[in-house]
Amino acid sequence: MTSPIEARLAELGVTLPTPVAPVANYVPFVVSKGMLYISGQIPVGPNGVEYVGKLGDTLSIEDGRAAARLCAINILAQARAALGDLERVARIVKLTGFVNSAADFGDQPKIVNGASDFFVEVFGDKGRHARSAVGVSGLPFGVGVEVEAVIEIA
């Protein structure tokens, strides 16, 4: 039987991928005191790393939003690996979005909305969260966006 969250993902046309393994000396998630901390996820899709470039230069706002959404999908893949069932997500507590930005780019919040909007689409009010959207001069593999999450476990 499909859980309500898995059914909602199917309605949105989203299939969660196999979680990406870490590429350095860290773990993809940590569970501690009823909270799930998910390491920064980059936009890795079925064909590998996607959305390489800088926002405000080679990537558009639409590209950045799509990249952030893909990061959020990868966060859910890690959450399912950690918890076994996405029904155990009590709330998305906090997102931090890092946006690889050209020097004069100031629309980081619009980019990270790609992840924020996705979590609200999937979880409703449980998907509303605190958030930071930070412009940076570079990200791993040259991607445009990286997003990390803190999730309360039910």
Cβ–Cβ < 8 Å for 136, 99: yes
Distance CA 145, CA 83 (A): 25
pTM exceeds 0.95, yes or no: yes
Quick one: pLDDT at residue 1?
Answer: 63
Distance CA 82, CA 77 (A): 9
> What homologous superfamily does CATH list for 4-12+27-153?
RutC-like (3.30.1330.40)
Quick one: pLDDT at residue 74?
Answer: 98
pLDDT digits (tens, 9 = 90+) for 95-110: 999 999 999 999 999 9
- Please identify which residue in the block is written with the tokens 């009010």: 125
Q: Which residues contact 76 (CB under 8 A, 6 or more apart)?
A: 9, 16, 86, 122
Low-confidence ranges of the chain (pLDDT < 70): 1
Q: Which residues contact 118 (CB under 8 A, 6 or more apart)?
A: 68, 69, 72, 73
**Cross-strand pairs, 91:** 152
Distance CA 153, CA 138 (A): 32
Identity of residue 40: G
Residues in the chain: 154
